[in-house]
Amino acid sequence: MKDFHGKVAVITGAASGLGREFASTAAGLGMKLVLADVQAKALEGAAEELLDGGAEVLAMVCDVSKGAHVQELADSAIARFGSVHLVFNNAGVGSGGLVWENSEQDWEWVLGVNLWGVIHGVRVFTRVMLECAARDPDYAGHIVNTASMAGLLAPPAMGVYNVSKHAVVALTETLYHDLALVEAPIGASVLCPYFVPTGIARSHRTRPDDLASEEGITASQMAAQAMTEKAVQSGKVTAGDVARITFDAIRDGRFYIYSHPQALRTAEERFAAIVQGKQPADPYAATPELTGMLKAALKPRRA
């Protein structure tokens, strides 16, 4: 997909972080915007700002973990703009801690947004886009699913998040092959950002009451939260940078999109260990201070 002007972009998690920057970049390219988020006030603010800038905007409060909400989003996009060309399945939340300490509610919440949100986006919008392509012989579309470097690595104390993002990578690779199988005029990419300054470290503010954990917060969860906040806020690559990198990748038809390609060295070590049948490689070998921070937080306190 190379021509963006006048085309329609659907963005989930659009009120802040990467989603907000995707929307701003798309608006600058003359795209019509369909914005979705669970944060009603923040979404309203983002929509008003983009409207003031001259963009055509449809904003909807949408919980991507619910298939009916995503279907309503797609139906509304078609009703308003008649077509959909670019979809960012971007909404995501973060959660950490030792994997056996995560509650059932933790798993349901994170997988609901990070994985089921992408599943619903792919299931609903791919069909919509194929229908659009059937009506327009010049149609070109693209789907970008936001995963993470945690979809290629398996850092400690991030189990729930790792599982969700590994699944998004696998889902998107399969989507790519399936679209090629039917020769659809729709591209697919998976975005794997590393530590980028966004609000994901504070995503618990969007956690629904019915999925509040019935177990108290543990030392490992507090340590993982502190580590994530520190690493994210120290990131030098901004959300705006990632949006620019992503749109360049869409133009070039690239599947894998990285914010920090230097982190692939650690991924190579992981894959080499898999191929060679070795023990899992240390994902924090290049940043031992992060492992040290976690270990210090989990060390039993002496009386």
How much is the average pLDDT of 216-239? 81
- The overall average pLDDT reported for the chain is 93
Instruction: Look up 258 and say whether it is catalytic.
Output: no
- CA pair distance 43, 289, nearest whole angstrom: 37
Helix H or strand E segment including 87: strand 86-89
Give the single-character DSSP code of 258: E
The answer for residues whose C-beta is within 8 angstroms of residue 186's C-beta and 6 or more apart is 126, 129, 130, 133, 140, 141, 142, 143, 179
Q: How many helices (H) and strands (E) does the chain have?
A: 10, 7
- pLDDT for residue 280 is more than 80: yes
- CA pair distance 114, 110, nearest whole angstrom: 6
Q: Model confidence at 7, in pLDDT bands (50, 70, 90)?
A: very high
The answer for residues whose C-beta is within 8 angstroms of residue 42's C-beta and 6 or more apart is 15, 16
How much is the average pLDDT of 206-227? 81
Tally of CA atoms within 13 A in the half-sphere of 3 that contains its CB: 5
User: pLDDT value at position 204?
Assistant: 72
Specify the higher pLDDT residue, 210 or 176.
Answer: 176
CB atoms within 10 A of CB 109: 25
- CA pair distance 205, 75, nearest whole angstrom: 28
Helix H or strand E segment including 120: helix 117-135
pLDDT tens-digit map of 287-301: 888 888 888 888 875
User: pLDDT value at position 210?
Assistant: 79
- CA pair distance 298, 303, nearest whole angstrom: 15
pLDDT tens-digit map of 113-129: 999 999 999 999 999 99
How much is the average pLDDT of 261-273? 95
User: pLDDT value at position 291?
Assistant: 86
- pLDDT for residue 92 is more than 60: yes
Query: Residue 179: left (phi > 0), alpha (psi -120 to 50), or beta?
Result: alpha
Is the separation of the CB atoms in 236 and 299 below 8 Å?
Answer: no
Structural domains present in the chain = 8-298 (3.40.50.720)
Q: Give the residues across from 190 on adjacent strands.
A: 145, 256
Token pair 């963009």 in the structure block, residue: 55
Q: Model confidence at 218, in pLDDT bands (50, 70, 90)?
A: confident
pTM for the whole thing?
0.93
Positive or negative, the CA dihedral 49, 52, 113, 243 is negative
- CA pair distance 178, 90, nearest whole angstrom: 21
pLDDT tens-digit map of 244-257: 999 999 999 999 99
Least confident of 75-84, 131-140, 200-209: 200-209
Q: Annotated catalytic residue: which of 139, 161, 194, 258?
A: 161
How much is the average pLDDT of 98-118? 96
Is the separation of the CB atoms in 186 and 129 below 8 Å?
Answer: yes
- pLDDT for residue 44 is more than 50: yes
User: pLDDT value at position 70?
Assistant: 98
Alpha helices in 182-298 (DSSP H): 219-233, 239-252, 264-276, 288-298
- CA pair distance 191, 255, nearest whole angstrom: 8
Q: Model confidence at 201, in pLDDT bands (50, 70, 90)?
A: low
- CA pair distance 119, 172, nearest whole angstrom: 10
Q: Model confidence at 303, in pLDDT bands (50, 70, 90)?
A: very low
CB atoms within 10 A of CB 31: 22
From the list 106, 292, 109, the residue with the least C-alpha distance to 217 is 106
User: pLDDT value at position 205?
Assistant: 73
- CA pair distance 240, 151, nearest whole angstrom: 21
- pLDDT for residue 286 is more than 50: yes
